[in-house]
Structure 1
Amino acid sequence: MGRNTRKRRSPLAVKAIAASAAIALGGGGLLWAQMNASAHESNNSAQNYTKAAAASVATISCPDVGQKLTNVPAKAKWGVAAELAKLDKQITEAYARLASTRQAQANDANFVQNAIVGPLKEKRAATIDRIRIDITRVGGQFDSSLAQLAACTTQTANQTTAGGGNNNGGQNNNNGGQNNGNGQATAAPSASASAPANIGGQAGNGPVAADFVDITKVAPNVLAKPQKQRTASTGTFTTRCGVNANKNHNTDNVIVAPGVTNGAHHLHDYVGNQKVNAFATNDSMLAAPSSCQNQSDLSSYYWPVVRVQDGSQDFDQNADGGGKEGNVGKILTPQSAEIKYVGSPAAKVVAMPQFLRIITGDAKTTTNGLANANAHWSCTGFENKVQLTEQYPICPQGSNVVRTFAFQSCWDGVNIDSANHRTHVAFADPASGVCGNGFKAIPQLTMRLVYKITPPTVQNGQVKNAYAVDGFPEQLHKPSTDHDDFISVTKNNLAAKIANCINSGRRCQ
């Protein structure tokens, strides 16, 4: 479907990852080495703390099969997607068993391998084989080496605290989104007698103290933008679609798991198109209402919710994708949500094709590594100085938390999606802004979400009133797992109007 390309992260993401590495080495922030696994502890006011404890098995690390599938025949797409969703479900179930059997792990050094990791491998092997059957029976080619991805390993808390990253200067390898093995965890020892009840956080799956940093202690790390060329497209188009004040949520993801309820295993905010769930189709989205002021914009903009883990419970405390899968606390609605399309510093843009799908970032960086990470965390007043990928910012008094997304801005000119949902789009070169490999510049979707959050406090390895992004339970709510999803759906020639506005240098909405 899509071709293999090499993509680069945006300059913000490249520098943010480098900054996180500097923080890990003691560059004015928290020392990861001081934080291992942690146990949940609550005080009389029911506010959350995380406490450092002995290192133990914290989570399960499984290769991401979906990112290795770069050529799935159209006739096999839905069947393969359903099987990939089963792989995610198998991991979440195995993680739940890991979290609920700490005493058994303490009593038996082989429990994790024999009762959790071994059976998980068998289930994954059978599912991968069904993917092979789905692809080959419609005439497609299946890479037999994918069978080797059935085996999973475990990670200790101090392995995951560092994000499992590969600070490779932002070079992406899109032959499946892996990071050449540098971020792949090796097998960790089974839990010892000192195994904690959980690794921290209100639900026992993070975040931990090392996931936070005082932004005032981080050195400036934002790179200058590429110099605009004579052929640059300098306009902008802003679409106003609200902040999801009407609480349009679900735990589906129609891009990666069509037809699968709870395919995301975490909760999304939806703005724009108001009828997007696992069963949405192109036709149903064209017929749906929109939260955007411009009613020609039927696009779907959705992202994982942010929660404050202060001991409170929200509506989904006992639901799949919510509390049952480690996503707990009070759901926050952004104070503001700016959605803006911007141009290219090197070229004119072409209109986005109808129904183009783009995912930016990676929800599984704890186990995949940082090759496709594209998270930007900052604070108001600091956005032009500091952007973080691997830590959440603790903002000073009067400053708010900011999540920023800068989507891929180069398109292969043919496909509206690809088998791994990555290879049909790419980032422009961070130094020049040029799209490579015959890709075309499209309007770059950017989002800026602002949240009013009481700053967490970190003392002696403990974090109080943590906040975190929703995610797969085994990903431990790491900041680097932040991601954003987009489906372009327009009418009344809006896509062409957006491109024309940007190419003519105007500011439109």
Structure 2
Amino acid sequence: MDERPRGYRPSRALTAVSALALVLGGLALTATAIDPPEEGTLVGDHRWKDEGRPGGDGGHRGPGGHRDGRGGGDAGGDDDTGGHGDHGDGPVTGPDPTLFVPIEEAPPAPDAPEPDGNASTGSLTLDCGVNENGVHNSENVIVAPGVEHGAQHTHDYVGNQDVQRFTEDVDANNAILAEGDTSCERDDRSMHYWPVLRDLTAEGGDADRPGGGLDGNIGRIITPSSVTIEFLGNPRGPVAAMPEFLQILTGNARAFTADGAGAAARWTCTGFEDRAFPDRYPLCPEGSDVVRVLEFPSCWNGADFQSDDNRSHIVFPEEDGACAEGFTAVPRLRHTLVYEVPEGPDFALDGFPEQGRHPITDHSDHINVMPPDLMAELVECVNAGRDC
């Protein structure tokens, strides 16, 4: 039997290297069926099955910098076989109103490690739009490839637009991505996706659909007012190229029921970026908007574009910013999402039903399908200390 990790591809790896909390309850929200969503936004009607995938990255730093090795993306670490409609005897609830706190009460945002003389301090920013064309589904091609509604919540997509016909075959899915249209500039077909944020004062077009109201995710989807996709360097040295089809997750969609394991959420407001909540929704003052900051792991094992736990092939740096032995620094991806939300505690993140739409469950996903010449430019910009 071949015991190599799923997705192991020696030739690709060698080419890449050389290329260099609170109780659920409170605010009960009841779904009301209205007009169905636009064609192509949500398809199919199947239940999520976790398939027993292990969680955690075996050394991921959770909140506070401690190592936990638990949790893990949309799969989490739980043996959860829930599905839409499997919500017990009562309605899905959340978020609890006490999760909304004025941004002025947020702790200081975590400091980045101080760069040394070998640091790669440049950056590259790409314009991929804000999903103004409304590409959504409730699947997750990384954690549950080919499982319709495997996420039990709805994702926003920017970048690759061919997101509705994935299969269980990872190679086939990568071939789809390689040919897909894209919303990113410079023909970057990479995929970026995250759970939508919703306005709870308005009914959503998917109130009677899985991923939406049938899974407790009530409200109108809010299109971000801005999305910033940026790649940064490493404070301890140069970065190498990402391999083609590299899959990266950040955060844990089941962090609430996993005691915060694997959480990487950061919630703040425009004009208050020096402070942020890891586990609360910010109430922003007039003239300020809600911001989600999602930092991705950036230390790659040099061999695999994916792993069975979806994390151990690429992990977060050590506390000082260095990669652990056996791992190589690659460009560090950051998603910054800005939203105009209704006043007060009337917005919420999509999530699994049992997570209560808790802000600590925020997460994001990426598959690299960047053209080789653009990846080479990215690496050169970051290592040379230029902003491109």
Q: TM-score, normalised by structure 2?
A: 0.79
Any gaps of 5 or more consecutive residues in structure 2?
Answer: 7-20, 31-46, 56-60, 79-88
Check 1:304–1:167 CA distance in 2 against 1; reply closer, same or farther (3 A cut).
Answer: closer
Query: Per the alignment, in what secondary structure is the counterpart of residue 256 of structure 2?
Result: helix
CA shift for structure 1 position 357 = 0.2
Q: Does 1:227 align with 2:114?
A: yes
Any gaps of 5 or more consecutive residues in structure 1?
Answer: 4-23, 25-31, 43-84, 89-126, 132-145, 150-165, 185-196, 457-464
Q: Which residue of the partner structure matches residue 93 of structure 2?
A: 205
CA shift for structure 1 position 397 = 1.0
Instruction: Tell me if structure 2 keeps the 8 A contact 1:229–1:346.
Output: yes
Instruction: Tell me if structure 1 keeps the 8 A contact 2:265–2:362.
Output: yes
Query: Per the alignment, in what secondary structure is the counterpart of residue 294 of structure 1?
Result: helix
Instruction: Tell me if structure 2 keeps the 8 A contact 1:207–1:466.
Output: no
Q: Which residue of the partner structure matches residue 108 of structure 1?
A: none
1:18-37 alignment, distance < 5 Å: 37=25
1:169-318 alignment, distance < 5 Å: 169-174=64-69, 204-218=92-106, 220-277=107-164, 278-279=166-167, 281-295=173-187, 297-310=188-201, 312-318=202-208
1:321-470 alignment, distance < 5 Å: 321-384=211-274, 386-430=275-319, 432-456=320-344, 465-470=345-350
Tell me the distance in 2 between the aligned counterparts of 1:441 and 1:352.
9
How well do the aligned residues superpose, as a CA RMSD in angstroms? 2.8
Higher helix share: 1
Query: Per the alignment, in what secondary structure is the counterpart of residue 38 of structure 1?
Result: coil
The one-letter code sitting in structure 2 at the alignment partner of 1:356 is L
CA shift for structure 1 position 217 = 2.7
CA shift for structure 1 position 454 = 2.5
Instruction: Tell me if structure 1 keeps the 8 A contact 2:24–2:93.
Output: no
Tell me the distance in 2 between the aligned counterparts of 1:393 and 1:318.
29
CA shift for structure 1 position 36 = 7.2
Asked which structure has the greater RCO (Cα within 8 Å, sep 6+), the reply is 2
CA shift for structure 1 position 168 = 6.7
Tell me the distance in 2 between the aligned counterparts of 1:324 and 1:265.
9
The one-letter code sitting in structure 2 at the alignment partner of 1:419 is D
Tell me the distance in 2 between the aligned counterparts of 1:301 and 1:371.
23
CA shift for structure 1 position 493 = 2.3
CA shift for structure 1 position 284 = 1.1
Check 1:167–1:225 CA distance in 2 against 1; reply closer, same or farther (3 A cut).
Answer: closer
Check 1:177–1:251 CA distance in 2 against 1; reply closer, same or farther (3 A cut).
Answer: closer
Instruction: Tell me if structure 2 keeps the 8 A contact 1:172–1:371.
Output: no
Tell me the distance in 2 between the aligned counterparts of 1:254 and 1:41.
29
- The more displaced of 203-212 and 445-454 is 203-212
| Cα-to-partner distance string for 1:62-108 (whole Å, 9 max, x where unaligned) | xxxxxxxxxxxxxxxxxxxxxxx7535xxxxxxxxxxxxxxxxxxxx
CA shift for structure 1 position 225 = 2.1
Tell me the distance in 2 between the aligned counterparts of 1:232 and 1:288.
35
The one-letter code sitting in structure 1 at the alignment partner of 2:96 is V
Aligned residues: 333
Tell me the distance in 2 between the aligned counterparts of 1:359 and 1:317.
28
Tell me the distance in 1 between the aligned counterparts of 2:313 and 2:199.
35
Q: Which residue of the partner structure matches residue 47 of structure 1?
A: none
Instruction: Tell me if structure 2 keeps the 8 A contact 1:299–1:488.
Output: yes
When Rg is computed on C-alpha atoms for both structures, the one with the higher figure is: 1
